[in-house]
Structure 1
Amino acid sequence: MRHRGKALVSVLAVGVLALAGCGGGDDGGSGSGPGGMSVPKVDKMAQLGAGEGTVNVIAWAGYVEDGSTDPKVDWVTGFEKETGCQVNTKVAGTSDEMVALMKTGEYDVVSASGDASLRLIYGGDVAPVNTDLIGNYKDVFEGLKNKTWNSVDGQPYGVPHGRGANLLMYRTDTVKPAPTSWSAVFDPSSPYKGKITAYDSPIYIADAALYLMKTKPELGIKNPYALDDAQFKAATDLLTQQNDLIGEYWSDYTKEVQAFKSGDSVLGTTWQVIANLAKADKAPVEAILPTEGATGWSDTWMISSKAKHPNCGYLWMNHIISPKANAGVAEWFGEAPANKLSCAETADKNHCATFHAEDEKYFEQVWYWTTPLAQCVDGRTDVTCKDYAAWTQAWTTIKG
């Protein structure tokens, strides 16, 4: 998807985890995850060798631009000339597609979102990353390193690419007083019934869980992606109630921009880049991070455990998070860059301020998308949590 030269993050895939039966080891990248789940033993690269001449990449639209979309947008050609690694890109539309493609062993690296990364790690489809071989890794914001969606037991399984928060947007001429809480989209007596919008994905259940985590502490929710039976029921009940308020669920950002411009939607979830585009189109909107915080997303470049071109794969991962390339992707795509030095390289010198790239206190309030597992990702071992298959089934029921 494109709009004024910027590509947006793709819709989260509807997926089912298939993690049972994964073997484990004690070294070379093996480790234990939530609930003691084991990670298959996969060795990480010890040293870089000569490039193999090719790197096969799976990426979201807008992440690997070679000038063919816009001659001014190209962070591939220079890499190819410098390394001799020809970049072959497969654009994927969903996280499920990325996982399936990585299982074929035909691709070297992938720009995985948080709902795919754990599946790839526990499925043995990606290798642990030796960050000593990636010079630009040292300049990645600390807030993106060694997180639950991109590492196990402190071992990185990828290179952070960028991040963003799921915000609350509203029309300033209609929604008064200005909202400060997610209660604005969950209030059953809302005066904006029929004009509230929400993100169309099972992962949106986490938004309800986050709200309940802050407003109903008696439920004991510690992580919006780790919900036992009672917690899950509370979240899905809230979303079923909210369904009566929803005018439409959105997944296409251009349609959300149009809905806010026309007034068909006046309140609901959004991304910062969507708010920027709506404002540029003269829609009277503002977007805020509510008092409860928000869910969000952070993508990770990961290397296949079966990579045929691992040296070029490592060279690519180092390049794509280099200050200039990472700045180019962040501006084109509409996100905060992962490399802290990228902020000095953006064409728009306000880009990092707009997307809160250097504001760790802001992102401390963001719960990044993480694949829900039966083995609770909050560390609990005395209960079973609802996995993504259950989230998918529930979402279908909620929407009716």
Structure 2
Amino acid sequence: MKFGAVVAVAILLATACGSSNTSTGTKHRVPPTATLKPLDKVGDGEGALNLIAWEGYVDDSWKKPFQDATGCQVNAKSAGSSDEMVSLMKDGGGGQWDMVSASGDADLRLIYGGDVRPMNEKLIPDWADFQTYFKNPAYNTIDGVHYGISLQWGPNVLLYNTTKFKIAPTSWSAVYDAANKGIVTAYDYPITIADAALYLSKSQPSLGITDPYELTKKQFDATVALLMQQRQLIKKYWPTASEEILDFQNGDAFIGAAWPYQTIQLKGNGGPFADTIPSEGATGWGDTWMLATKAPHPNCAYKWTQWVSTPKVQAEQALFFGETPVNSKACAQMEALQAGSCAQYHANEAGTYLQTIHFWKTPVTTCPDGSENCIPYDQWVSAWTTIKG
């Protein structure tokens, strides 16, 4: 996920910690590193570990204990966007980088670029306690092969000012309604196109959109046209969570897509704000630690993945950023650290909640029907530039 200052998120942990949602990954063409055999056991650490991560994902509160326990000294570089991560990981990390904490909009680019390699989930003891969906999500698992281990996640919610919207909006149509001109905000990133595609999948079923990340030219053109119309309603596109918070606090925005982090911060300051998952559902993001194809320190990389997959560290990171751990046992740890935090982050939602979230994944040419007629990510980037004018 792109963090600006700090991220966002919501949380689902069944019965206070579980999910009935299942996934076996996605089926696409075979990635170039598919035949590389992952480690069958974790050996002695190499003494070093070089990471590319979202800012704060390698915080001292869990980095230093890891270094003390394993002897793996961590060198971390913060990346400001998924595009930067993909760039840094070129040529399999170049023999310099070991891992990257990639979001779903970067995963398939890294996988099909040959920059990350399969990982052995059996070497991560806590993987067995992951919520079912996050064991094999489509954004990091292909034909049953794991190209990384899931970490944290969150939905993209509809945030609104309750004074302006006395009746809670129930549809994403509110951000495309001309009546709301000049008070709408939207995330400044090409993957935002998927939000509009999800809305059209329900509002214009004749388009035949079944996956908001796999769009034919006709579907893509209709989605871009909707966003071009929306541009006239936009007060400001937000690049960071902190900037959107200020826009709502200052009365520059009254409704728009957000992360739960923004809602929590705004409500914590006593403001008239709330969020919802509209009837059409929502997009969402999931982060994954992925192993560079040319990782120089693979044993330390696995040790790190084991460390950050434990309930304790998952809970610490979740509360540090306001995001959702994938380990179902992290809920109790969160409550021990901050009473009420599981409920605050939607931890006690029904298992069906997760089924309403369409997680970010890299748009590729492969369509839901297996044809190669869909619009790839580079064209999403170009279209987003045009949409913003």
**TM-score where L is the length of structure 2:** 0.90
Give the secondary-structure state (helix, strand or coil) at the position aligned to 1:175. Answer: coil
SS in 1 for 2:137: coil
- Structure 2 residue 261 is the aligned partner of structure 1 residue 273: yes
In structure 2, the partner of 1:282 is: 270
Runs of 4+ aligned residues of structure 1 deviating over 6 Å after TM superposition are none
Mapped to 2, the partners of 1:365 and 1:387 lie a distance apart of 24
Distance 1:91 1:226 in 2: 30
Query: In 1, Cα distance between the equivalents of 2:150 and 2:339?
Result: 22
Partners of 2:3 and 2:54 within 8 A in 1: no
Q: Distance in 2 between matches of 1:216 and 1:2?
A: 33
The aligned counterpart of 2:32 is 39
- 1:370 and 2:381 aligned: no
**Higher RCO structure, 1 or 2 (CA under 8 Å, sep 6+):** 2
* Structure 1 residues 249 and 232: CA distance shift in structure 2, 3 A: same
Give runs of aligned pairs for residues 169-248 of structure 1, distance below 5 A. Answer: 169-188=159-178, 190=179, 192-248=180-236
1:97 counterpart residue number: 84
Match of 1:78 in 2: 65
Whole-Å separation in 1 of the counterparts to 2:258 and 2:147 = 29
Q: Does 1:62 pair with 2:76?
A: no
Q: CA shift at 1:178, angstroms?
A: 1.7
Instruction: Map 1:1-400 onto structure 2 (within 5 A).
Output: 7-8=6-7, 33-34=27-28, 36-40=29-33, 41-66=35-60, 74-103=61-90, 104-188=94-178, 190=179, 192-346=180-334, 347-357=337-347, 359=349, 360-376=351-367, 378=368, 380-400=369-389
- Residues 132-181 of structure 1 deviation map (CA, whole Å, 9 limit, x = unaligned): 11111111111212121111101111111111000001111112322111
The aligned counterpart of 1:25 is: none
Distance change in 2, residues 1:283/1:181 (3 Å): same
Report if aligned partners of 2:171, 2:278 keep a CA contact under 8 Å in 1. Answer: yes
Distance 1:329 1:105 in 2: 28
> Contact 2:49–2:300 at 8 Å: present in 1 too?
yes
- Give unpaired runs (5+ residues) of structure 1: 11-30, 67-73
Report the CA distance between 1:294 and its aligned residue: 0.3
- Separation in structure 1 between the aligned mates of residue 26 and residue 159 of structure 2, nearest angstrom: 39
Partner SS for 2:248? helix
Deviations 1:326-363 (A, max 9, x none): 11111111111111111111212322222234643111
Whichever residue aligns with residue 384 of structure 1, its letter is: N
Give the letter aligned to residue 174 of structure 2. Answer: A
Using the TM superposition, give the Cα deviation of residue 9 of structure 1 relative to its aligned residue in structure 2, in angstroms: 6.1
Question: Which letter maps to 2:312?
Answer: K
In the alignment, which residue of structure 2 is the partner of 1:20? none
Deviations 1:8-66 (A, max 9, x none): 269xxxxxxxxxxxxxxxxxxxx9952x3543332211221111111111110111111
Query: Judging changes above 3 Å, is the alpha-carbon distance between structure 1 residues 155 and 382 closer, same or farther for their aligned structure 2 residues?
Result: closer
Does the 8 A contact of 1:227 with 1:386 survive in 2?
Answer: yes
Q: Offset of 1:95 from its aligned partner?
A: 1.3
Cα deviation code 1:216-271 (max 9, x no counterpart): 11110000000001100111111111111111111121121111112111111111
Query: How far apart are residue 105 of structure 1 and its match?
Result: 2.5
